[in-house]
Structure 1
């Protein structure tokens, strides 16, 4: 596609700026995985040190998830009103300060407050980082690069487990303080990398700041390019945040939030409680311990497979296949809960592999289906609503295992996957070949 005999910015080749911006933006999912996981590593030690009650332990673990629920939508609103650039840096300052503050806590209340604040900052970082990245990426690489960010959650979680265990073994009785505060290191590193990142040219244009948008385009793509090379929005009508709650964009929010929730409930449950679930299915000892590790690794391979298939299959087909085959794996686990150990692990591994398609689309669809004026708000709202699914998946699994048993728990998870498949079949658009303006158009 060309504009005035020149390449449209949607079809421009991927350059060094795009690659660096992708790395900088990966800080959102990396810190999400790190900060949410490090608390699990040190919970026993800090609980003894602060003499936490069972209720306080639960609140310490849940505080960041609750904060993310509020931070996602609020952060999205601010990034749409104030721009991507400023908050892109400030949110990491907040993460560094709140992480370091955990070192000096002396009460459950103080720790809960700081974990909540960290959740707010993480939640705010998701919409602004992914929106900024989506608004610069060429159409051919937009899906695969946005999708690849999801893997950084697992990388962050893995680094947290390794760093946390090392700190607990090396730092003595107060090691939990050092472990919690250790998140300041990646936060500061990403802060340094993000410094100097330009504002989104699309956001500047949406605010009528044409000259500044033109300067950004020339800086990123070269002096021969200008705003004339950026595809025009399909509609000149301004879109307000209120549109996310009704009409066509309301339907898109419903679709994005529901598919995200249906993909995250079983995934969070299996990821968080793999040893407990495997034990309920008769796997014990090394088979259960190493099986849980293997399932976690396969989750990463599933995301990698999703990144590879997102363009050949397209968004809609990949999402339908992801829900179908991962759901069938859960159904077989429910129908044969006392199967051979290796068969059980193979079915869990199949689920982890096939759900990767739905996982990686969690960053792609929200950024493609909404226009620049409300993109941050839409991604933030979807992030907030998905945390409800994360909380359900994390906290209802023990109750489900004790009340209805492992077989019915797996069948219930299959049902959730089928809801995701149905809503995808009825509502998912295909945006693979569309530029960002056309993909986000209401019609």
Structure 2
């Protein structure tokens, strides 16, 4: 039995939970950083008297860095390892975020936000790839969705910091950014505490290290239970032998090869559309509420309530992804996101704004969880980091555009046109999701 098959057949162990929690805390810290900028934009628009164009660039420049970070971070992860890149990215964006707290001008703050984006963009696809490569086959999708659920924890932390720190004083945004130094310390733990991908190690002919890691995971399971699992595995192996098509897939070394290009194109479309709608809406919601006449404190409180709806969205996605499958779960949640975006565009009262925002948060973040679970499963090990990173990098182009297009669209057609555009984008993403292959229960290609 190969080392990858030995990992695939294991139940969830304490080591799996440590890997998920360790990666998830890094994920939450990333989300906190991204979420904070939406509150900082609203605060600096008041304290520094920034124009809509200036706040747009403050929101977008980080995503320029994220686009580059995601693309090159994935490539680097395929060359030097998932864990190494994970730790490096946390270090880069943690230091840059802490330095942002000292910025004395908009130009300096924008430059530092670009560096923050570089680290943040590279970390997300690398972390999901690492967890996906260790997760037991039968619950692989669920584990990656649970990893993505830490995004809600981080965004919730950002909403709390926005409501109680950013809005507390004129320099509240500086104290909020100072908290971004936390990932710098966490990077040391990541480097020392998390295992490297066994699939990566085998590709690099580091077989002794790979064997030590697999043996350590197996040691967490009772020997009698392991023997029973192996017996079931032998019976299943007789029914599901490798096919020439699977072998050819494993040998692919380009995400645009004939066997991979259709799924790559669909994945890129989904990433682009989801980024456009998500960041266009959630980066601007606190500022939009202020523009509608709500106070800074009240708009931040509304955003905090809306953020709470992310948690049940992830929970539903984690359950459905192993029941309905990846494709149906993602497509359905994207359809729900489209309906919620259309509803938000027509919301006028406080109750309607909160309800529509909660629905958008529920469906959209559930879709994000399913999307991160799908990506690593679409590629063989040799290009898995590159495939997930390139899709994320292409999607970040939309996240760069999204904050910039919001002000002119609002002037031209108001919230109805803006959220109508987001609804259309979600519909396109849902259609693309239906073209992806269903990977539920399949062996992660080597």
Residue 132 of structure 2 is aligned with which of 134, 139, 143?
Answer: 134
Indicate whether 1:195 and 2:213 are aligned: no
Residue 407 of structure 1 is aligned with which of 411, 416, 420?
Answer: 416
Summarize the Cα distance change of 1:295–1:103 in structure 2 as closer, same or farther, 3 Å threshold. Answer: closer
CA distance in 2, matches of 1:204, 1:359: 29
**Aligned equivalent of 2:316:** 305
**Aligned equivalent of 2:393:** 384
Residue 205 of structure 2 is aligned with which of 199, 204, 208?
Answer: 208
1:33 shift after superposition: 1.7
CA distance in 2, matches of 1:155, 1:404: 34
CA distance in 2, matches of 1:50, 1:408: 29
Indicate whether 1:364 and 2:373 are aligned: yes
Q: CA RMSD in A?
A: 3.7
Query: Normalization by structure 2: what TM-score?
Result: 0.82
Contact 1:72–1:381 under 8 Å retained in 2? yes
Structure 2 unmatched ranges of 5 or more = none
Task: For residues 312-331 of structure 1, give each alpha carbon's deviation from its aligned partner in whole angstroms, at most 9, with x where no partner exists.
Answer: 11111112222233323444
**Aligned equivalent of 2:443:** 435
1:303 shift after superposition: 2.0
CA distance in 1, matches of 2:307, 2:171: 29
Q: How many residues align?
A: 426
Equivalent position SS for 1:156: helix
Deviates further, 131-140 or 229-238: 229-238
Summarize the Cα distance change of 1:395–1:173 in structure 2 as closer, same or farther, 3 Å threshold. Answer: closer
1:244 shift after superposition: 1.6
Summarize the Cα distance change of 1:292–1:60 in structure 2 as closer, same or farther, 3 Å threshold. Answer: closer
Equivalence map 1:414-429=2 (5 Å): 414-425=423-434, 427-429=435-437
CA distance in 2, matches of 1:107, 1:339: 36
Contact 2:264–2:387 under 8 Å retained in 1? yes
1:101 shift after superposition: 2.7
**Aligned equivalent of 1:265:** 276
Indicate whether 1:37 and 2:35 are aligned: yes
CA distance in 1, matches of 2:290, 2:98: 37
**Aligned equivalent of 2:65:** 67
CA distance in 2, matches of 1:81, 1:185: 27
Summarize the Cα distance change of 1:7–1:124 in structure 2 as closer, same or farther, 3 Å threshold. Answer: closer
**Aligned equivalent of 1:115:** 113
1:260 shift after superposition: 2.5
Equivalent position SS for 1:26: helix
CA distance in 2, matches of 1:196, 1:295: 34
Equivalent position SS for 2:114: helix
**Aligned equivalent of 2:98:** 100
Summarize the Cα distance change of 1:297–1:11 in structure 2 as closer, same or farther, 3 Å threshold. Answer: same
Contact 1:92–1:191 under 8 Å retained in 2? no
**Aligned equivalent of 2:12:** 14
CA distance in 1, matches of 2:419, 2:167: 37
CA distance in 2, matches of 1:288, 1:57: 17
Query: Normalization by structure 1: what TM-score?
Result: 0.83
Equivalent position SS for 2:284: helix
Contact 1:31–1:122 under 8 Å retained in 2? no
1:188 shift after superposition: 1.4
**Aligned equivalent of 2:247:** 235
Deviates further, 373-382 or 391-400: 391-400
